[in-house]
Amino acid sequence: MLKRRLVLPMCAIALLLTSCTTSSADAPVVAPARLDSVRADLAELIGSGAVGAVATITDNGATAVVTAGVTDLVEGAPIPDDRAQHVRVGSITKTFTAAIVLQLVEEGLVVLDAPVERYLPGLLRGDGVDANAITVRQLLGHRSGLPLPRTFELTEHQAAVLGRTFTPEEEMTFILGLPAEFAPGARFQYNNTNYLVAGMLIEAVTGRSYSAELTDRIIAPLGLSHTYLPTTGETGLRSPHLSGYTTVDGNVVDETLMEPSLPWTSGALVSTGADLNRFYLALVSGQVVPPAQLRHMLDGVDMGEGNGMSYGLGIGYTQLPCGTRFIGHTGNVRGFGAIAGATTTGRAFTYSYTGTPTTTTMSTWLTSGLCG
């Protein structure tokens, strides 16, 4: 099968701590005022209940890392700013999944406006589910109307503690026992079910595992050495990492362990700020999917949250006060939260945090990370 290979010029996108200049005196830096603004964001997060927070800011060849809080509550060590920390990034996984599907569209193996039934015959059967009416585009754009997994027998953390694992087929059997939310295409409704199906579609079309496609198509070509999809049963995080916490009945509980087979292609990815900045910079510059497919990804609808954020195919976007456009995604799983994205002007940022803060002001973070 034809694979899309990413060929990156040495100076195509500015990434980690150095640029392609040879003089350290000429090397670009992130503006101190922006770093001060980001530090204030992280301090507010910690003050409102987060345990740890990391911001990674990339600006045309310079990358800076700002941290606050601690890696875990047992040792209480401050988070280092010179060593990438693995964190769970939740639904940011969806951008990776959508990008793979769009690569398959480019290769002629998937048609965006074809019914999902063509690729997964017999899967989408349930109360009010019209399998022939749900298209791949509707799936990626959260407009399929498929049932929401409102309840499940276990959380990802409970499954990890009990040693329970799940196949996508088992999850879909449960989900499709619930009624459809609406007719395909009728409206937008964010729904993890869509991206479980998208993962199954990728495997059906390619004949390979999602993890293999993810590695060969995105992780390896972009050199995302700290990004991985944990295998079924791999409930811990690889070192170094932050520990994840939630507040339950007023008590802070360690929920770092997670069974990845539950969120799978909708939210199980693990990464770092530097890797996510690299990925989104490559994406917005047309190096992950070609410009024609990127236009599909950025052709979306207002999410209806009152903040101007629209959602295309696996990605959100909005215009910022400084005139630039943010293109990225948020992610939340138990114990961890994140937002990552980039602009077409060479800026990228990732905020990740642990704990359950009462203040998560996304609009402020976007302005601090990408404007100024």
Residue among 70, 32, 75 at smallest CA distance from 54: 70
| Catalytic residue, candidates 37, 91, 211, 243 | 91
Whole-angstrom distance, CA of residue 314 vs CA of residue 288: 13
- What is the CA angle 80-85-91, rounded to 5? 140
**Catalytic residue flag (residue 310):** no
Q: Is the dihedral of CA 359, 152, 237, 90 positive or negative?
A: negative
In whole angstroms, give the CA distance from residue 291 to residue 102: 11
Whether the CB-CB separation of 38 and 55 falls below 8 Å is answered with yes
The two tokens of residue 3 are 């694979």
Task: Report the alpha-carbon distance of residue 86 to residue 228 in Å, rounded.
Answer: 10
Which residues have a catalytic role annotated?
91
